[in-house]
Each structure stands twice: as structure tokens, then as C-alpha cells.
Structure 1
């Protein structure tokens, strides 16, 4: 068997079938969802890493 490609006719290995449009669409459907736009980090409340990093309060000389 063979299949046409942009580079020309390609021979197939015995037992291997060509990838169809249906196969490609099935892979896209089964793939995990991705956001359409870049997401902003969640830096509020419990997830705010900068607010949780307050070691300067425990350093010597800062507290009265």
C-alpha cells in the first residue's frame, strides 16, 4: 500500500494503515482542554505567595 503526501507517493509498512482525518480529529477531541488566552497567576488570599513570605517580621530588631 501507499499514500500520497506533499513530498510524493509514500510506501507503507505492512500492517500499518494511513492516518485519516478522523484519527486526527479524535486525538484533538481526546486532548485535555487548554485556555484560549494566557492565564494570570492567582495571587490573592491563600494562594498569594508574596503575602505569605513575610520573614522580615521575625528578624531581630524589627519587633519593639
Structure 2
């Protein structure tokens, strides 16, 4: 979870764009950044990680 929140913080994408690309409501990103991990499923966390990681990886 800490890795994902750090990736969100340093990403060139804003939280809204990350949420949109991951197919999640913005509230889920807000919950994660506020430390409310229990509001996200493991699948949602994986999707967030894949979304951010694919944006950071060179193409």
C-alpha cells in the first residue's frame, strides 16, 4: 500500500487521471491516500499498481 501511495504522489498523472485509467471512483484514491486501506480490495490495489506502473515504464 505504501508503494502505491508513493507512486501516486510522484506520478505525472493526477489522482483523478489515475482513478479514471484504473476504472475506479476518485473516492477510492482519496481513501487510499487518507490511509483507509480497508476501503479497497486487493484487486483494486493491483489494478492501481498496474495502472501507475505502466505509466512509469518506458515504452
TM-score bin (small chain): under 0.3
Bigger helix share: 2
Task: Determine which structure has greater relative contact order: mean sequence separation of CA pairs < 8 Å that are 6+ residues apart, divided by chain length.
Answer: 2
If you compute each CA radius of gyration, which structure gives the higher value, 1 or 2?
1
TM-score (norm 2): 0.25
